[in-house]
Chain A
Amino acid sequence: MEHYCLRYRHTAPLLMWLDLRHPLRPPYLLIFSPSIAYVRTSEDALEYSRLFHRLLLFLSALPPFQSGRLLDPAMASRPAAGARPGAKFAQFKLVLLGESAVGKSSLVLRFVKDQFDDYRESTIGAAFLTQTISLDESTTVKFEIWDTAGQERYKSLAPMYYRNANCAVVVYDITQASSLDKAKSWVKELQRQANENIVIALAGNKLDLVTESPDKRAIPTADAEAYAREAGLLFFETSAKSSMNVRELFTAIAKKLPLDQAGPRNLRAAPRPGVDLRPEAPGTQGAGACNC
């Protein structure tokens, strides 16, 4: 299934054209604003290109047409809101925080790829992962997960990292006494830098070590739990290695996110407000051509 977004000054002619040809079958057309239309074509790639080509030809014949400049294949890969009647789809940015080596990346790796690596080096190369959770038949939550990329090591995280984060997982290591204090200072930092209504979960990682030898535990569950309750955080003790509570952690976050009141920023199924920079998008001009 392909999804395309068209930006057009007037949507009325588009609607008419589509209604005439395929009133109920693809391409579907969703109108998000007076100038943005969302086109969904059939599964058949050939048919898609044929239809789309015709659509473009038709549009370019109209005087006010702006040559279909906003085509965003990235956005297209996301399921469209309203694809199924009553279906809810929301995308949220999740950031990870915590001291080095507490297992931030491992938690995400377990959640996203169901993998664990005992000798994982400090984060390199995996700093932007996504994972989708279905809460029920009709509700899907997609996490856009940002890893620190190691920038927290010397207190050099950029404001960009916190920007528009909807939720955060603050990780500590239950076998390291100092790591909970670090986690607390990250929570403070989040409250200072991030959205006011950010959902924060506290995760005490490396539960597997304690299950094997209970005397390794440095932070009692009750202590962390009391702090989490006081600060209004979700709380789980997890193991990225055994996958204990990992899924539960992310599901609890998804349930706490305000799906119903998600603004346009969160409901990313709607087109982003900005412009797509990709030069290859059909309908835009190649670098060499001139439009004089």
Chain B
Amino acid sequence: MDEIAPEYDVVVLGTGLTECVLSGVLSVKGNKVLHIDRNDHYGGEAASVNIETLFKKYGNVRPGEEPWKKYGRVNDWNIDLVPKLLMANGELTNILVSTDVTRYLEFKQIAGSYVQQGKGPKATVAKVPSDAGEALRSSLMGLFEKRRAKKFLEWVGAFKEDDPATHQGLNVSSCTMKDVYDKFGLEDNTRDFVGHSMALYPSDEYINQSGQAVETINRIRLYVNSMARYGKSPYIYPLYGLGELPQGFARLSAIYGGTYMLNTDIDEVLYDGGKVSGIKATMKDRDDQSTAMKFETKTKKIIADPSYFPGKVKVSGYLLKAICILKHPIDKTDGSDSLQLIIPQSQVGRKHDIYIAMVSAAHNVCPKGYYIAIVSTIAENDANHHIELEPGFERLGEIEEKFMGPAIPLYEPLDSGDKDNIFISKSYDSSSHFETTTEDVRDMYRRATGEELVVEGLREDQQLAQE
């Protein structure tokens, strides 16, 4: 067994996506990185697991039974634990391309983006219009409303923040999104799908916040541009599941000298004058616990997911999530092999939207004939979480298997890390994409290095190193 180096520039704890992106970037930039996970697999909370692991994780197993056996080969399943998709034009795509991690991964489109109107048996499901032209053909709106929506989307398309001539007389820096909607005379239903299924706000809080208009416009543009990139939906998805993403960035880090140790417990974090100075850890042996290797090493900084420092984080909310296995595509979605479906809160009398993200054999995450749908929302009550997700289950129809644990606490760090040099990431939030995750990556990079993260150009460095 090789010796562990006596000192590292950065020790990274946890192999979730946020940690792996940071580890990769820091290694490319020449830092000596030691990357540790207590689990024996990559991905942490952002892993994709096989169906046996899923059954065991959620305890859907009676003693002596092996219910996963009827679902074919266990390893044909790669089930995401985090219900998210990539925006085709989003920041994660940019980072993937800039770091050349795309060469380890293959992506496919998500086939459709849908929104529900109404509730119960009368509910309808419609495709989210992707541009002004589609708005005109959409079944979501009446004839006159379509024209208003077209006008609004054209305005969003032409909008430039620093060119007042494109603002149509609105004071965009201070006005609210309500002011904007009022100006274009949009109906409530239109506001609903624009705000929730295009700007992807999980609640209606944004509408009355002054100064939120520009952010909303940028969100709609991200959606529309992502949509325009490949055509069918704004989302793309890696073959074999989201768990491939952290693995890809871990490989990047390893190529640049990052040291990887899975299955390794942190026994103690060492401090010197309030600042972190090192770690004591034990690498376990999968087969033979007696050959565990204890070691100690120095470090100037630690980057970690919230689970490694429970005393340094707080709960910011609770996410509800149910992973459902289906044997049919979702009704009223043209038989799409993959999709996002949003049930806006107002349609079902809630404060937060319900999201459904579905993928299938087309993405090599399950055997042919199966579909994996994750229903999620932000918890609004302390109990009866099943009822909160019920409108989502209604959409799915017959469910073969449902995996649903207690509400999942979302953590965020108490401090920026400037006092102890321990920089902690946020949990993966309830949003349907990775934009907030990449924001967290940028924020952590800034906190940990004092510099802005520039991923553009990293790729050139990498090619140099490979030649």
Q: Which of B97, B157, B254, B466 contacts A151 (CB 8 A)?
A: B254
B67-103, CB < 8 A from A: 88-89, 93-94, 96-97, 102-103
Which chain B residues lie closer than 8 Å to A160 at the CB level? 104, 240, 244, 247-248, 251
Pairwise interchain contact B132-A279, C-beta atoms closer than 8 A: no
Q: Smallest Cβ distance from A21 to chain B, in angstroms?
A: 27
* Bound CA span A289–B256, Å: 35
In the complex, the chain A residue whose C-beta lies closest to that of B132 is: A292
Tell me how far the C-beta of A163 lies from the nearest C-beta in chain B, rounded to whole angstroms.
7
CA distance A161 to B250 in the complex (A): 11
**Which A residues lie within 8 Å of B263 (CB)?**
155-156
Is A238 among interface residues, defined by CB-CB distance under 8 A?
A: no
Is B224's beta carbon under 8 Å from chain A? Answer: yes
B residues within 8 Å of A by Cβ?
A: 2, 41-42, 88-89, 93-94, 96-97, 102-104, 106-109, 130-132, 153-159, 221, 224-225, 227-231, 236, 239-240, 244, 247-248, 250-251, 254-257, 259-264, 283, 286, 465-466
Of A125, A156, A289, which contacts B225 at CB under 8 A? A289
Closest to B37 in A: A156
Pick the interface stretch among A12-20, A26-34, A133-141, A270-278. Answer: A270-278
Give 4 new A-B contacts, CB below 8 A, not counting A277-B102, A287-B89: A158-B247, A160-B104, A277-B236, A292-B131
**Chain A 142-160 interface mask (CB, 8 Å, partner B; 1/0):** 0000000111011110111
Residues of A within 8 A of B231 (CB): 66, 69
When the two chains form the complex, which single residue of B97, B131, B256, B264 contacts A291, counting CB atoms closer than 8 Å? B131
Q: Is the CB of A128 within 8 A of B466?
A: yes
Main secondary structure of the interface of A (DSSP, over half): loop
Q: Are B247 and A290 in contact (CB under 8 A)?
A: no
Is B154 within 8 A of A275, CB to CB? Answer: no
Report chain B residues within 8 Å CB of A278: 97
How long is the Cα–Cα vector from A292 to B184 in the complex, in angstroms?
Answer: 16
User: When the two chains form their complex, are residues A287 and B2 in contact, meaning their CB atoms are under 8 A apart?
Assistant: no
How distant is B20 from chain A, measured CB to nearest CB, in Å? Answer: 10
Residues of A within 8 A of B106 (CB): 272-274
Contact with B along A60-83 (1 / 0, CB 8 A): 000000100110000000000000
The verdict on A177 contacting chain B, using a C-beta distance below 8 Å, is: no
Residues on the B chain within 8 Å of A156, using CB? 260-263
A1 at the interface (CB under 8 A from B): no
Determine if A191 is an interface residue (Cβ-Cβ < 8 Å): no
User: Contact between B108 and A273 (Cβ–Cβ < 8 Å)?
Assistant: yes
Confirm or deny: A285 has a beta carbon within 8 angstroms of a beta carbon on chain B: yes
Contact of B224 with A127 in the complex, beta carbons under 8 Å: no
Q: Is A124 interfacial (CB 8 A cutoff)?
A: yes
**Distance from B52 Cβ to chain A, minimum over Cβ atoms (Å):** 14
Q: Give 4 closest A-B pairs by Cβ, nearest first.
A: A292-B157, A149-B254, A291-B228, A156-B260
Contact A158 B251 (CB under 8 A): yes
- Determine whether the beta carbon of B224 is less than 8 Å from that of A291: yes
**Contact across chains for A155 and B157 when beta carbons are under 8 A apart:** no
Task: Please determine whether A153 and B108 come into contact, CB atoms closer than 8 angstroms.
Answer: no
Name the residue in A70, A126, A154, A289 with the highest tally of chain B Cβ atoms < 10 Å from its Cβ: A154
Assess whether A131 is interfacial by the CB under 8 Å rule: no
Q: Find out whether the CB atom of B261 lies under 8 angstroms from the CB atom of A274.
A: no
**Least distance between B266 CB and chain A CB atoms (Å):** 15
CB of B21, distance to nearest CB on chain A (Å): 15
A41 within 8 A of B: no
The answer to whether B107 and A275 have CB atoms under 8 Å apart is: yes
Residue among B41, B132, B221, B283 having the largest count of chain A Cβ atoms under 10 Å: B221
CB <8 Å contact, A292 and B153: yes
Q: Given A125-B466, A277-B97, A287-B89, check contact A150 B259 (CB 8 Å).
A: yes
Could you say which residues of chain A place their CB within 8 Å of the CB of B236?
A: 275, 277
Smallest CB gap from B264: residue in A: A154
Q: Is the Cβ of B229 less than 8 Å from the Cβ of A69?
A: yes
| Nearest CB of chain A from residue B364's CB, rounded to whole Å | 9
Determine the distance from Cα of A121 to Cα of B224 in the docked complex, in whole angstroms: 48
Residue of chain B at shortest CB distance from A278 = B97
Q: List 28 A-B contacts (CB under 8 A).
A: A125-B256, A125-B465, A126-B255, A127-B466, A150-B254, A150-B259, A151-B250, A151-B251, A151-B260, A153-B260, A158-B247, A158-B250, A160-B244, A160-B251, A273-B106, A274-B106, A275-B109, A275-B236, A277-B93, A277-B96, A277-B97, A277-B236, A279-B94, A279-B97, A284-B229, A287-B89, A291-B228, A292-B132
Docked complex Cα distance between A169 and B18 (Å): 33
